[in-house]
Structure 1
């Protein structure tokens, strides 16, 4: 497949790109700083641009089969603004303009899915996030709404505590109150789950929570 990765120079995004290339996919990565990506491969195309550059974003998604977004907001309490919200809106508009439907991304269990049942995480996590990372939570809410309010064929994996640990090859996924989902997950396993959604049809237009 041909896949565009946004957030490719981040911890999860770099793993997503590597796993895609290792599996033989063609990857386009749009990044601000190609040097930070640190990857070279015959099947990798790197576009150096900001998410605000609608022309570059459109170029990045033209002719691909799917988009994987590993974008995540800064967790600095002092940060303000909505760069990733606006960037996600640009991505969605570009995908719609060129007819690419499949979007795979990330969010948090602080945001509910309609398939969830009542769960303590719905009460505790939003309060904790609002106190510790108010701007990040707002960004995630608005990024997610930009996708779920569109006609894209999305899967958004909700993660709580990504860890820099080796892949286990075991990922729990499902909906709060229905399935046994923990909190922590290795970034490598999160990346593997995102890549698996290229061919897994279980979670189309849903937001499963995942953990190890």
Structure 2
């Protein structure tokens, strides 16, 4: 398949490029700034500019988005401007949707976070104590993710949200998947397995228009 990856220089993005090449896919990496040799075609473009992104998605079978902002970057920006709010996810989703609609590409798989939602999939301690604390600390990023989700749901694309818990750099191993609710007791997942789940989504039509929660 011909696949475009947004956020290709992050931990999940690099896993997507590496695993995609290993699986025999033709990969295109889209980055905000020059990234060196990723082993595939690299397009440098503003990730919130739909017109600039159109050429990177035209003719592709699907788009995989691991776009995000690192917590240290978020804190550094807030230190300079306390009123600043992250819109990286929402701006990126808006541009991706517009670029895909303009070029006729329909399949979009993007990374979410299970921590921003507390639901019946969680145990009482996680739902009532742990997650409210995490949501308070990471409120800015979670609000940005929620805005991005709303943009996808309002589009006509065949989107899937992949929602892991806290990420590690561990190796691939077996993990659980649950549709639309959190994984009971799921607290960790490696970036390698987030990428693996995103490739699985390409072959899972029942995951279209669903939030797929994944965890060990």
Same fold per TM (> 0.5)?
yes
Give the equivalent residue in structure 1 for 2:215.
211
Distance 1:143 1:129, change over 3 A: farther
- 2:186 is the counterpart of 1:190: no
CA contact (8 A) 1:155 1:205 kept: yes
Distance 1:178 1:31, change over 3 A: closer
**Which one has the bigger helix percentage?**
2
CA contact (8 A) 1:73 1:139 kept: no
Distance 1:68 1:157, change over 3 A: same
Measure the CA separation in 2 of the matches of 1:45 and 1:9: 13
Matches within 5 A, 1:40-55: 40=39, 44-55=40-51
Distance 1:34 1:186, change over 3 A: same
Give the equivalent residue in structure 1 for 2:64.
68
Measure the CA separation in 2 of the matches of 1:69 and 1:154: 11
Query: Which blocks of at least 5 consecutive residues in structure 2 are unaligned?
Result: 79-83
- 2:35 is the counterpart of 1:39: no
Q: Equivalent residue of 1:154, what SS?
A: strand
Query: Which blocks of at least 5 consecutive residues in structure 1 are unaligned?
Result: none
Measure the CA separation in 1 of the matches of 2:59 and 2:32: 21
Q: CA deviation at 1:177?
A: 6.2
TM-score by length of 1: 0.86
Structure 1 stretch 139-148 or stretch 174-183: which is displaced more?
A: 174-183
Q: Equivalent residue of 2:210, what SS?
A: coil
- 2:21 is the counterpart of 1:16: no
CA contact (8 A) 1:109 1:122 kept: no
Structure 1 stretch 1-10 or stretch 133-142: which is displaced more?
A: 133-142
Distance 1:184 1:14, change over 3 A: same
Give the equivalent residue in structure 1 for 2:3.
3
Give the equivalent residue in structure 1 for 2:81.
none
Structure 1 vs Structure 2 CA RMSD: 2.3
Deviation string 1:150-182 (CA, Å, 9 cap, x unpaired) is 1111111111111011112x1210047686461
Measure the CA separation in 2 of the matches of 1:20 and 1:83: 24
Matches within 5 A, 1:1-212: 1-35=1-35, 38-40=37-39, 44-75=40-71, 76-77=74-75, 78=78, 80-112=85-117, 117=120, 119=122, 120=124, 121=126, 123-124=128-129, 127-168=132-173, 170-175=174-179, 180=184, 182-212=186-216
Structure 1 stretch 202-211 or stretch 170-179: which is displaced more?
A: 170-179
Distance 1:208 1:81, change over 3 A: closer
Q: CA deviation at 1:74?
A: 3.1
Aligned pair count? 205
TM-score by length of 2: 0.85
CA contact (8 A) 1:161 1:184 kept: yes
